[in-house]
Structure 1
Amino acid sequence: MDTPTRWAGAAAGVAVGTLVDFNPEPDVQLLYAFPAFGLCVMAGVLAADLIARPRHSWIRVAEVTPRRVRDHVPRALATFLAAQALILTVLVVIAASTATADSEGRSGRALAVECPAGSQLLGPWPGLYYAWPALGGMALGTVACALLLRRVTLRSQTDDQRRIQARAAVGAWGVLVTAPLFAVSFTMAVVVLSLSCAGVAKVFALAALALTAFTSALSGCHCLGVLLIPQAYTEARS
């Protein structure tokens, strides 16, 4: 029953992101849709945890060892996602601090560059209008994930059930991290590619941004699988 409930949360997240208008601009709308999706999935994980019944054996043994969140969280995945969250924060700060108004006068939508051949105004550039949904959604999702992991850890159920629910929660948080990271890094890469100057710095920046976008895309797909069928990954590790 817990798997259909998680899938229902994911379906609700897609519906909210599609039907609710957060912003008139499609790219910003998508950035708001990512947190909505992730939070709905976490709600599905919480609902699955609420309806899940612990599987007891005939002989019940009292546990005296305190339960810790880190004992049930997939450490490698969580560490990798934390690194990507840090990269997202750095990229958003860099983009916001270098952004300027575009040709229509909208603040923080373009990058102004002075080249020998003349000045360039390139966009769209992920300025502050990207920062609020990207970092705000990630922060909100981080708090929700931490609370959910604590509940899953303290609840009376088997260790396998805890690992499955914890992995699903981390997968949902991973979507909140990797999706905006892909959007920000890809958008920045497109602008850097359009630069007519910068030389070697352009090559290195473009390579780093392309690698970040590619890695975040793969991580996002992995997290999507983790949150929808976490038991498959848990069984593979056992």
Structure 2
Amino acid sequence: MLLYLQLKLFDLKWIGAIIGFFYMRFGGAILGFIIGSILDRIFRGSSSSSGGGFGKIFQEQSAQVSPGDFELNLLSLSSLVIKADGKVTQQEMDYVRMYFVQAYGKEKANATFKTFNEVIKSREISVTRICEYLRPRVRYEVRLQILHFLFNIANADGHVSDAELRTLLNISQNLRIANSDFESIKAMFFKSADDAYKILEIEKSASDSEVKKAYRTMAKKFHPDKLQHMDEAYQKGAQEKFNKVQEAYERIQKERGL
């Protein structure tokens, strides 16, 4: 399928040359070839698995979300998690307030929290609509941080309820977060005999070399440097995830005597 797509893209320059020759003879063929080559590069860039080229630049420039819109949608998702079990606890509210104070300062956080109180009361918040808006506008590692933040809210009162977990899973799926990444972040909040392996997204039967490879992969995925462009609170959240990955690896090392 990929080879077919590449061949189709390669044909753009020649299709342009043929159309140009039909209308403007030799000069038109040259112009059509040039235009086809430009289109070729654009579509290759946007369809490349590495996301490189002009396609990536265009996507990054056109798919950004403003800070205000990001905050409002994050607050909306937060309210859904807080209300999931039918009660709003002070610990959960305090966690959200603290997070926004760290991210934006006390003055702006207080103003934002007034909006949050209204959001909490709203019954017209759609997970699907919010996630469809955010998904193409924020990078995958930011979506992972959003999920981690929401898990922290649910866990603020010391327990993630079944209703909260279902809401978190629904949000994760709508944000198109891989199930393995959901289970990894979930394992950071649910202690079990194999939670260290779940954090690294491997089975307990994995070989020592597979454990080391998984650690390198997860450390890279959750590295705080990926969120350098965001506020301090989000970087702190990334550091927390990164630390959990390191702790999981160290526990497995100790268990296996590596």
Name the TM tier (shorter chain): under 0.3
> Relative contact order (C-alpha < 8 Å, sep 6+): which is higher?
1
Which is richer in strand?
1
TM-score (norm 1): 0.25
Larger Rg: 2
TM-score (norm 2): 0.23
